[in-house]
Amino acid sequence: MGTDHWNWPDELDALTAAPGNHRLLLENDRVRVLLTTIPIGATTPVHTHRWASVEYLITATDFVRRDADGNVLLDTRTAHSTPEATDVLWSGPFPPHSLENVGDTELRVIMVEIKAGNV
């Protein structure tokens, strides 16, 4: 999904809607690099990620991703594989969602968002 077809307001961007969980590490016209941190038992506010990303798991734990209406999209406890520290993942853009850390370790992820049309 390119930025020309993005249906959600800028107010839902991760850095604006969930600043307690997302920290900007670097941004230029090609990428935006975020550090995402979700403490044990915490849930992020509903937010979006406009661009596809490469995600590096610094620490991994079980989590539940929900859509803006609270419907479960992914529960790693019942998924086919459990996330592990140092996993590298690819993800498309994320429409409005929240993430709840249901594990026993803080979740820390470096997200390298690839800005559409500039690569």
Nearest Cα to Cα of residue 59 among 86, 97, 77, 21:
86
Asked whether residue 56 is domain-assigned, the answer is yes
pLDDT tens readout for residues 57-83: 999 999 999 999 999 999 999 998 888
Gyration radius of the chain's alpha carbons: 14
Asked whether residue 38 is domain-assigned, the answer is yes
Asked whether residue 51 is domain-assigned, the answer is yes
53 vs 3 pLDDT, higher one: 53
Asked whether residue 10 is domain-assigned, the answer is yes
pTM to 2 decimal places: 0.90
Domain of residue 93: give its range: 3-114
Question: Mean pLDDT across the chain, nearest whole number?
Answer: 93
The tally of domains found in the chain comes to 1
Asked whether residue 61 is domain-assigned, the answer is yes
Asked whether residue 67 is domain-assigned, the answer is yes
Pairing of strands 107-114, 52-59: antiparallel
44 vs 119 pLDDT, higher one: 44
| Residues 53 and 62: beta-carbon distance below 8 Å | no
Residues 85, 69: Cα–Cα separation, whole Å? 29
- Predicted local confidence at residue 55, as pLDDT: 97
Q: What is the CATH number of the domain that holds 89?
A: 2.60.120.10
Letter for the amino acid at 51?
W
Q: DSSP for 15-55, please give it.
A: HHH-TTTEEEEEE-SSEEEEEEEE-TT-BPPSEEE-SEEEE
